[in-house]
Structure 1
Amino acid sequence: MVIGLLALEIFLPYSQSLKDKRKVLNTLRDRVHSRFNAAFAELDYQDKWQRSRIGIVTLNSQKGVVDQVLQKICRDVEENLEGEIILSEFHYF
């Protein structure tokens, strides 16, 4: 069993409050969960309204499938995010 983690550090320039940030992240979480059936969590910067570090996790018996899903998620987030990705990291366990 292979577990894949996609860690993204994102900048949300249009967010003016924690409420705005929460709305963007909830929309993103719902999209990732419904389209890719992956788990989503905010990992850091919970008190900053224009910055976040999120983790997205998926698993499969084949590493290639996990990598392909995480790459698709990263592209989808980049295309639909109301902000920009500062850093992306892929980890496999």
Structure 2
Amino acid sequence: MPIASLTLELRIEHAQSLKDRRQVVRSLKEKLAHGFNISVAELDESVTWQSATLGVAAISGSRDYLTGLMRQVEDAATRIANDLGATISDSWWQFLEE
């Protein structure tokens, strides 16, 4: 059964405190998780307030479904991050199991 993993690198230029950073990260995680029924987690303990890394995981019986889902999640993450004043500086996804 295929498992897809998506990694999102965020840049939060306006963050002036840990609270600002957490607000953006928490909001993005919640919107993605509820909108797509996927698992989303913060992957790093960032040393700066202006960056964060999120991991997204999904499992399905269909590799084609997961491919489409990861594209949709990546597009939505970009839109949501922009609405929150952040940008996706890098993203990549892969299948963990064939």
Structure 2 length as normaliser, TM-score? 0.89
Counterpart contact for 1:45–1:51, Cα < 8 Å: no
Counterpart Cα distance in 1 of 2:76 and 2:48: 24
SS of 2:46's equivalent?
coil
Is 2:61 the partner of 1:61?
yes
Q: What value does the CA root-mean-square deviation take over the aligned residues? A: 1.1
- Where do 5+ consecutive residues of structure 2 fail to align? none
Gaps of 5+ in 1: none
Partner residue of 1:85?
Answer: 88
One-letter code of the match for 1:46?
A: S
Q: Distance in 1 between matches of 2:31 and 2:18?
A: 20
Q: Which amino acid aligns with 2:87?
A: E
TM-score by length of 1: 0.93
